[in-house]
Amino acid sequence: MGGSHSQPQNSTMCGFADSSSNVSCNNGTLHAVCRKLNGTNCEQILDLNKYIGNEDGNLIRKHDGDFARSCQNIKIDSAGLLTCMAKKKDGTLVPAELKLNDYIGNVDGQLKYEEIQRPVVG
């Protein structure tokens, strides 16, 4: 067989946007079509509410943060940037963003979130 065939660059943990398409967000759930290592595509969803919180208008990585309850106009662009209007403690809405591509990867067609390392308490 002639020619070269390069494998999709999705074997590392982070950087899902480079190997995913049709990226969108609905009620805090990330939807994307992810490329597998064999070149086929599969639809994937990931509930971002499990991993992101709103702390006084700032999006933060937080276990069971449920950010969508206090944010509006949630969008994710093709580069994996999540933007929204986040509610502050005083009730005002402010623009907020989080680079999902730094924390979410496409591992052989599956969206995976890099968990926050928790300190061991002993």
Condensed to tens digits (0 to 9), the pLDDT of residues 88-107 reads 999 999 999 999 999 999 99
Report the pLDDT value the prediction gives residue 70, as an integer from 0 to 100: 98
Burial label, 32 (beta-carbon count in 10 A; 0-12, 13-18, 19+): buried
CA 122 → CA 9, 63, 117, 118, 119, distances in Å?
39, 21, 15, 12, 9
Task: Tell me which CATH homologous superfamily contains domain 20-106.
Answer: Cyanovirin-N (2.30.60.10)
Report the pLDDT value the prediction gives residue 58, as an integer from 0 to 100: 98
Backbone angles phi, psi at 18, to 5 degrees: -70, -20
Report the pLDDT value the prediction gives residue 14, as an integer from 0 to 100: 72
Q: In the chain, which stretches have pLDDT less than 70?
A: 1-13, 115-122
The structural domains of the chain, with segments of one domain joined by +, span 20-106
